[in-house]
Amino acid sequence: MSAIKTLIDLDLELMPQRRRGRLVNSLSGFKSANLIGTASDSSRLNLCIVSSVVHLGSDPALLGVVFRPPVDRERGSHTYWNIRETGCFTINHVVAEQTLKAHQASARYPHETSEFDELGFTPVFRCGFEAPAVEESPVRIGLERVDEWEIPQNRCRFVVGQIRWVEFPEKAWCTDGYLDLESLDVAALSSLDGYHRTRKMHRLAYAKPDVEHPEAMEDFMKGWPDA
């Protein structure tokens, strides 16, 4: 058995910044790789990649995204300020074959540069939204900003968006509501720069205290009868 490494908070504080960042970003496990599409109030388009999208509830349908502490627009934080100006943004899943150019969206391009043009992604507009979606993405979500919090310890911003529209290939949508993301070949992220393809295991039935082993379903599109 390999040795176990134990680190305390002081060890993390004393670690070089980039090494600490890669480690701490690894600890939360695999995350979705998403491109955030926005437009400024002067219609300048922007795109950035994030791994911080989280589900916050289904009624109403809410997603949250964590953004770095904002600086003034000329030095960066273009996505955050665009959301504050227009009140809307899109979340777009990254397909595995496009991770190289999607990762480049993390570069700090000048404010006047559109990452859509620079990286070769195609902007599309849906449902009257000012914010552009990514045509190359198989899952596109339009959100309206409904709330925001500053995290006191590090000044990051947690932005809450309510889903106003969503689109995806119908073939990946099961009758019970499940969306088969793996069939769409979307990528997962670990740490800041590790991109992965996933491999299915099984879907498990709703857990109940009087059932020791929930039923396992290997056909992900079969669906549960509760639908």
**Confidence tier at 42 by pLDDT (50, 70, 90):** confident
Nearest Cα to Cα of residue 184 among 10, 17, 33, 61: 33
| Beta-strand pair 123-124/133-134 | antiparallel
What is the per-residue pLDDT across 87-137, written as a single tens digit (0 to 9) for each?
999 999 999 999 999 999 999 888 888 999 999 999 999 999 999 999 999
Please determine, for residue 61, whether its predicted confidence score (pLDDT) is greater than 90: yes
Contact 202, 193 (CB under 8 A): no
- Confidence category of residue 75, pLDDT binned at 50, 70, 90: low
* Bond before 110 cis per omega within 30 degrees: no
Calculate what percentage of the chain has a pLDDT beyond 70: 97
What does each C-alpha distance from 189 to 17, 76, 160, 177 come to in angstroms? 20, 23, 21, 24
Q: What is the pLDDT of residue 73?
A: 61
pLDDT at 227: 52
User: Rounded to whole angstroms, what are the CA distances from 129 to 39, 78, 135, 160?
Assistant: 10, 18, 14, 17
Lowest mean pLDDT among 61-70, 97-106, 155-164, 206-215: 206-215
Domains with residue ranges and CATH for the chain: 30-200 (2.30.110.10)
Residue where the block lists tokens 């995204």 = 65
Average pLDDT, the chain: 93
